[in-house]
Amino acid sequence: YPGWWEGGPQLSFYVNQAAWQALPEAYRQAFEVATAEANQLMLAQYDAKNPPAMLRLAGQGVKLHPFPKDVMLAARRATFELYESEAKTNPDFAAIYRPWKLFRDTQFQWFKVAEAAYANFNYYVK
């Protein structure tokens, strides 16, 4: 742990743009509400079911080990090298990746101060 490929679960729903535009507005709104609800339900189940499952594993003697920092850094480096390489040759990927990376980097500054600091304090205080 942590799973490099998934910092947290999230559902994605894709609809053909022409089909989407052909739907009545009420159907589009219903779809948006239903997909948001599906994502929230999945997150709630993920958060509610994983802790007891982890405790059951621990009760059977399973020991969890984090990936070594060098493995995590190598995975991160390889991932972003791949993203940068793809962005250089694929304009569609670059159009999504570049703004996403800028947003992500900006958000990290906030989350380091607010969310991560609070979470780290609470997770390690007994």
Dump pLDDT digits (tens) for 56-73.
999 999 999 999 999 999
66 three-class SS: coil
Q: What is the pTM of this model?
A: 0.71
Cα R_g (the chain), whole angstroms: 19
pLDDT at 114 over 80: yes
The answer to whether 87 and 98 have CB atoms below 8 angstroms apart is: yes
| Residue of 22, 4, 33 whose CA lies nearest to 13 | 33
CA angle 19, 93, 71 (to 5 degrees): 125
